[in-house]
A = this chain, B = another copy of it.
Amino acid sequence: MKVAFIGLGNMGSAMARNLLRAGHDLAVYNRTRRAADPLEKDGARVAASAREAAVGAEVLVTMLADDAAVEAVIFGDRGAIEGLARGAVHASMSTISHALSRRLAAEHGTRGQLYVAAPVFGRPDAAAAGKLTIVAAGPAEAIDRCRPLFEVMGQALEILGDDAPQANVVKIGGNFLLASAIETLGEAFALVRKHGIDPARFLEIVNGRLVRSPVYENYGAIIAHQRFQPPGFKLRHGLKDMRLALAAGDEVDAPLPIAGLVRDHYLSAMAWGWADIDWAGLAKVSAVEAGLEQAREGPGATIAGGVKAGAGAPSR
């Protein structure tokens, strides 16, 4: 199938490579050209713009960092929406906001293009192994069109219905569950440590006998053994996802107090210079609040405006 693939970070590169290996015809685009080199060697055509990548594609896949990146690539100058043919499908696989997903559905609709929201659960290793879980929503025919691609990239496909943005809500809700579990582990570990109990032992008992979740197992181990480097998923992206959860709640008048609390803790982690450790580093904030660990002063008071625009921009 002729596929345009935009966004070649850790996740996107692995997914694109799997598509190539399965014999699909790929045009790729990435904001920084260099990230496309390995895929070019593997047989992908490297486009000079998002628009160019989209021309002639049956399916356009986007796998980007956040709303702003998707907006730039789709609606920006030489954006993909201008190149995509009528009847072609845009499968948006990034974790983006419900609001942007709704806008994408509408804008593609007015151009006779099809839109599928298909965010994924899984880390880069799952992406490389083609073992992602894909949650898809959108017109049935469009999902069917993407199915051969989804089967290459993921091992599980959950179809939600025809209202595309619902898939984004499920993805956001899922990350909210994970972040909440991490926060809870962080608080519980701080509690038991101050009572002189080894958190790994606590985890062994409570998860081993009761919760029995690989998520608690994995994140619990990361936290108990303080293995926040290298990050599997960066803390700054965890913060982004809490913002998405709060925005999704705000839109429908649903308060999410735990998401607010986690957001606050992520902000402190940012202020303490921990933007690029694993998002399980959230647990360090509870350790600091209990006096078990030391918080750093920020890397200079983060000043809004001019300074921040420079210094802070890459961190969001």
Contact = CB atoms under 8 A, between A and B. Distances in A.
A115 interface: no
Contact of A291 (B181, B202, B298, B308): B298
B181 A181 contact: yes
Interface string A251-269: 1111111111101110110
A184 to B, nearest CB: 4
Nearest to A307: B196
Interface in A263-281: 263-265, 267-268, 270-273
B253 A291 contact: yes
Given A173-B191, A243-B250, A290 B160 contact: no
Contacts of A169: 191-192, 195, 197, 304
Contacts of A290: 252-255, 267-268, 271, 298
Given A184-B180, A195-B303, A215-B212, A267 B255 contact: yes
B267 A205 contact: no
A249 B297 CA distance: 17
Q: Considering residues A216, A252, A305, which has the most beta carbons from chain B within 10 angstroms of its beta carbon?
A: A252
Contacts of A210: 121, 133, 174, 177-178, 215
B253 A166 contact: no
A196 B163 contact: yes
Given A291-B271, A305-B165, A188 B173 contact: yes
A194 B304 contact: yes
A264 B253 contact: no
B196 A166 contact: yes
A263 B257 CA distance: 9
A72 interface: no
Given A212-B213, A253-B290, A291-B296, A181 B184 contact: yes
A297 B297 contact: no
Contact of A195 (B211, B214, B268, B304): B304
Interface of A: 98, 102, 121, 133, 135, 156, 158, 160, 163, 165-166, 169-170, 173-174, 176-178, 180-181, 183-185, 187-188, 190-197, 201-202, 204-206, 209-216, 243, 245, 248-261, 263-265, 267-268, 270-273, 288-298, 301-305, 308
